[in-house]
Structure 1
Amino acid sequence: MISATKLKSVDFYRKIPRDLTEASLSGAGLSIVAAFSMMFLFGMELNNYLTVSTTTSVIVDRSSDGEFLRIDFNISFPALSCEFASVDVSDVLGTNRLNITKTVRKFSIDPNLIPTGSEFHSGPIPKVNKHGDDFQEEYSDGSDSLTAESFEKYAHQYSILVVNFFAPWCYWSNRLKPSWERAAKIIKERHDPEMDGRILLGKVDCTQEAELCRRHHIQGYPSIRIFRKGSDVKDNHGHHEHESYYGERDTESLVAAMETLVAPVPRESHKLALEDKSNKSVDTAKRPAPLTSGCRIEGFVRVKKVPGNLVISAHSGAHSFDPSQINVSHVVSQFSFGKKLSLRMLSELKRLTPYLGGSHDRLMGHSYITNRDHVNANVTIEHYLQVVKSEVVSRRSSQELKLLEEYEYTAHSSLVDSLHIPVAKFHYEPSPMQVLVTEVPKPLSHFVTNICAIIGGVFTVAGILDSILHNTLRLVKKVELGKHF
């Protein structure tokens, strides 16, 4: 068994009897300074240990979300009607999706971007299978030509006013014309305007009555509107509620649809309305007409991770558009790529990488308004977006934990004069590379080592300074005593 005396011989810290030591005022001052220095340096080292340190590298995109990319958007168009507003997607691989509706919502807005009603349920813009009669024969005008003045007169006179807003240069309008006139003639024979007074078919030439067509937000030709005289006449300053007709456009289908509209309306001279059971089952393919000329489009689409385009424009398989009357000015409230980040993930992102997140929604809050008084009003607005993915990874307790994936992009926008129908085009180009930000935690052993170095170093330096100061003072005292003797 080792004796206590032998164990004491390995003591690194041999003690000096207290009565052999001498305290000095200079030593006390240096001790206080050394203590504060230790505390200050300890605080700095602790802050450095707690501060996140990251490394940034550029690698080939290794996304876990596969080959698809989500695009979220919320865009307001003050002058593009929800009736024809279409969201289309295409890419370099040949993908071409027209009029996406499943994940897109539309809301009618006024020129000041204020909503004017509930969600606009348009559904897919239909492509009419039977548009006009296929045979040619002599026909006379059966519908009444309406002007701004006569339109108001007839709208208040007839319970149902069905109007064909057309343009003489329009291919689809010219195809509809024979069947429309024949249908109007048949309806007049069955429901004499003088004796019946329930329904009238009219037409408006939008090249002659441009203001009237603008008032009813006509952007595609031909547009068939159904105006009903109802209780809204008093509530809506004399205006009538109206719908758009999207059914077949041959004579037989038009006549059947008109009969279905007039059937529930009682005659002025009889209490009972004309009932036709066969016509009651006819689908007139109606839906509400837009209350205003503006539209807010919001939603998301999933696209392949290749260069492509997201295009918002006026689109229809059975209408023509006047490019000079289409205005795709817009205000972007949101346009972002990738999954939406929660508040917790956003705060974690800012903690780890304060410089990220600023370009996550580069277009947000920007307005792109074209001047309609410009000589060439056919203006397409293009946005060129270069998308880069940033992946933040945290390494803690020797484990790799992926925190979040974020897509940032640069945006360059321009106005382009076009001979075709103006569109709002967002051309996106995902980068094949990604930015990898990795958190590098500091080891606890490194922190402890530095603390020990701080304490030992300050203590040693303070001891050296105290020794120098003490010996200097003793030397000065000896010199002074020598002078006296």
Structure 2
Amino acid sequence: MISPSKLKSVDFYRKIPRDLTEASLAGAGLSIIAAFSMMFLFGMAMSNYLSVNTSTSVVVDKSADGELLRIDFNISFPSLSCEFASVDVSDVLGTYRLNITKTVRKFSIDSNLKPTGYEVYSGPIPNLKNHGDEIEEEHGDGAIPLTIDNFETHSLKHAIFVVNFYAPWCCWSNRLKPSWEKAARIIKKRYDPEMDGRILLGKVDCKEQNELCKRHHIQGYPSIRIFRKGTDIMDNHGHHDHVTYYGERDTESLVAAMEALVAPVPRESLMPALEHKSVLPMDITKLPAPLTGGCRIEGYVHVKKVPGTLIISARSGAHSFDASLINVSHVISHFSFGKSLSPSILAAVKKLVPYLGGSHDPLTGRSYIINHHDNANVTIEHYLQIVKTELISRRYSWEPKLLVEYEYTAHSSLAHSLHIPVANFHYVPSPMQVLVTELPKSLSHFITNICAIIGGVFTVAGLLHSILDNTIQFIRKVELGKQN
């Protein structure tokens, strides 16, 4: 067994009796300075240990084959009607998806981007059976020609007022003409406008009555609008409640639809009919007509991670459009790639990578407005270069991949086109990705730094004290020598 006296012999920190030590003001000052130095250096070491260092590298995008890219958007078109607004997607692999509606919603807005209060649904495309195959058996018009002067007069006289807005140059309008005129003659015979007065079929030539068609926000030809009288006149600030007809356009289907409209309307004088709100049966062929000419389109689509285009335009399989009247001016409220990040996650991530998210949505708040009087047939092109950023944190072993973010740059231009103007968002995913990896700090390295700070400051302070003490003694000896 080792005795205490032998154990004391290995003591590295032998104490000097206090009676043999002497305190000085210089030593006290150096001790205070050394203590503050230790505290300051300890704080810097702690801050450096708690800070995050990352390494950034550019590697080949390792996305799995078949992985889809999500595009979120919220875009307002003050001059494009929701009735025909279509969201399409195409890519270099031959994918072409038309009129996506499952994940896209459309809301009617006015020219000042203010919502009118309801969601707009796209109408079905008619099969157009027997459409245009009929031959007029009788000469003369069955439908009443309408102008901006007599439109309101006729609409106030009849409980049901059905109007065909057409263009003489439109092939679909010309194919509808014989069926529409024949149906109008049949309805006129069954429901005499003078004796009955419950229903009237009219027509508007939008080439001649351009202002009238603009008033009713007609952008596609032919557009069949059904105007009804009832208590909704007062509820809707004096305007008629009206819907758009999307059913078949042969004579038989048109007559059947008109009969269904007249059925709930009582066959009394016009005054009782005005007090009665006629009710249309729930039918997908009749949807609310737009009260304004603008549309806000919001939602998302999934696309393949290859170069492609998101297209927003006026589209219909049974209507024609005047390219010179289509204006795709728009204001972008949001346009981004990838999954949306919650504010808390984004704030936490920015502590690791401060620059991340700075260019996440560069199109937000951007406006692309075309003066329609000076620039007709203008397509707006957006070219987007997408780069994937993957952040990997070693701190969380259970979730090594903390975030996948998509940054993009955007360049836009206007282009004149002979076709229907569209808004194109061309996106090109980069084959390379940015890999940001967190470099964790070693606890042992931090403790070593703390020990080095304490020992180093203590040693340096001791050396300074020794030099100061020897200097003072030397000066005293010199002074004593001079006195002697």
Please give the TM-score of this superposition, normalised by the length of structure 2: 0.95
Partners of 1:129 and 1:380 lie apart in 2 by 31
- Specify the SS of the correspondent of 1:41: helix
Partner of 1:199: 199
The alpha-carbon deviation at position 436 of structure 1 amounts to 1.0
Aligned length: 477
1:233-291 Cα deviation digits (max 9, x unpaired): 23444321111001111111111111111111122369999xxxxxx999681111011
Partners of 1:387 and 1:424 lie apart in 2 by 19
- Specify the SS of the correspondent of 2:230: coil
Does residue 178 of structure 1 match 2:178? Answer: yes
Partners of 2:241 and 2:5 lie apart in 1 by 110
Partners of 2:161 and 2:232 lie apart in 1 by 15
User: CA 1:417–1:442 in 2, change beyond 3 Å: closer, same or farther?
Assistant: same
Q: Is the CA contact 1:245–1:284 (under 8 Å) kept in the aligned structure 2?
A: no
Partner of 1:333: 333
Q: Is the CA contact 1:389–1:431 (under 8 Å) kept in the aligned structure 2?
A: yes
Partners of 1:371 and 1:397 lie apart in 2 by 54
**Residues 31-110 of structure 1 aligned to structure 2 (within 5 Å):** 31-63=31-63, 67-110=67-110
Q: Is the CA contact 2:136–2:182 (under 8 Å) kept in the aligned structure 1?
A: no
Does residue 18 of structure 1 match 2:18? Answer: yes
Partner of 2:127: 128
**Residues 224-263 of structure 1 aligned to structure 2 (within 5 Å):** 224-263=224-263
1:404-461 Cα deviation digits (max 9, x unpaired): 1111110001111111111111111111211111111110000000111111111111
Q: Is the CA contact 1:131–1:175 (under 8 Å) kept in the aligned structure 2?
A: no
Partners of 2:455 and 2:97 lie apart in 1 by 71
Partner of 1:421: 420
Partner of 2:404: 405
Q: Is the CA contact 1:164–1:223 (under 8 Å) kept in the aligned structure 2?
A: yes
Partner of 1:276: none
Partner of 1:220: 220
Name structure 2 gaps, 5 residues minimum: 274-279
Q: Is the CA contact 1:257–1:282 (under 8 Å) kept in the aligned structure 2?
A: no
Partner of 1:458: 457
The alpha-carbon deviation at position 349 of structure 1 amounts to 1.1
Partner of 1:392: 391
Q: Is the CA contact 1:323–1:422 (under 8 Å) kept in the aligned structure 2?
A: yes
- Whichever residue aligns with residue 430 of structure 2, its letter is S
Q: Is the CA contact 2:381–2:415 (under 8 Å) kept in the aligned structure 1?
A: yes
User: CA 1:189–1:29 in 2, change beyond 3 Å: closer, same or farther?
Assistant: same
Partner of 1:277: none
Partners of 1:382 and 1:250 lie apart in 2 by 40
Partner of 1:188: 188
User: CA 1:141–1:397 in 2, change beyond 3 Å: closer, same or farther?
Assistant: closer
Please say which of residues 398-407 and 330-339 is displaced more in the overlay: 398-407
Q: Is the CA contact 2:225–2:245 (under 8 Å) kept in the aligned structure 1?
A: yes
- Specify the SS of the correspondent of 1:299: strand
The alpha-carbon deviation at position 399 of structure 1 amounts to 6.5
Partners of 1:397 and 1:202 lie apart in 2 by 71
The alpha-carbon deviation at position 65 of structure 1 amounts to 9.4
User: CA 1:166–1:404 in 2, change beyond 3 Å: closer, same or farther?
Assistant: same
The alpha-carbon deviation at position 127 of structure 1 amounts to 4.0
1:183-232 Cα deviation digits (max 9, x unpaired): 11111111111111111110000011111100100000000000111112
Partner of 2:483: 484
Identical aligned residues as a percent: 74
- Whichever residue aligns with residue 484 of structure 1, its letter is Q
Please give the TM-score of this superposition, normalised by the length of structure 1: 0.94
Partner of 1:153: 153
Q: Is the CA contact 2:128–2:250 (under 8 Å) kept in the aligned structure 1?
A: no
User: CA 1:133–1:252 in 2, change beyond 3 Å: closer, same or farther?
Assistant: farther
Q: Is the CA contact 2:393–2:438 (under 8 Å) kept in the aligned structure 1?
A: yes
The alpha-carbon deviation at position 394 of structure 1 amounts to 0.9
Partners of 1:417 and 1:357 lie apart in 2 by 34
1:30-72 Cα deviation digits (max 9, x unpaired): 1111111111000011001001111111112223695201111
- Whichever residue aligns with residue 170 of structure 1, its letter is C
User: CA 1:66–1:401 in 2, change beyond 3 Å: closer, same or farther?
Assistant: farther
1:127-165 Cα deviation digits (max 9, x unpaired): 433263314455421111000111100000011111000
- Specify the SS of the correspondent of 2:460: helix
- Specify the SS of the correspondent of 2:468: helix
Partner of 2:376: 377
1:172-193 Cα deviation digits (max 9, x unpaired): 0111111111111111111111
- Whichever residue aligns with residue 13 of structure 1, its letter is Y
- Whichever residue aligns with residue 121 of structure 2, its letter is H
Partner of 1:345: 345
- Specify the SS of the correspondent of 2:363: coil
- Whichever residue aligns with residue 101 of structure 1, its letter is T
- Specify the SS of the correspondent of 1:30: helix
Name structure 1 gaps, 5 residues minimum: 274-279
Partners of 1:471 and 1:343 lie apart in 2 by 63
The alpha-carbon deviation at position 9 of structure 1 amounts to 1.7
The alpha-carbon deviation at position 106 of structure 1 amounts to 0.9
Partners of 2:130 and 2:58 lie apart in 1 by 57
User: CA 1:397–1:80 in 2, change beyond 3 Å: closer, same or farther?
Assistant: closer
Partners of 2:69 and 2:287 lie apart in 1 by 33
Q: Is the CA contact 2:80–2:295 (under 8 Å) kept in the aligned structure 1?
A: yes
The alpha-carbon deviation at position 5 of structure 1 amounts to 2.1
- Specify the SS of the correspondent of 1:395: coil
Please say which of residues 234-243 and 280-289 is displaced more in the overlay: 280-289
| Coordinate RMSD, CA, aligned | 2.1
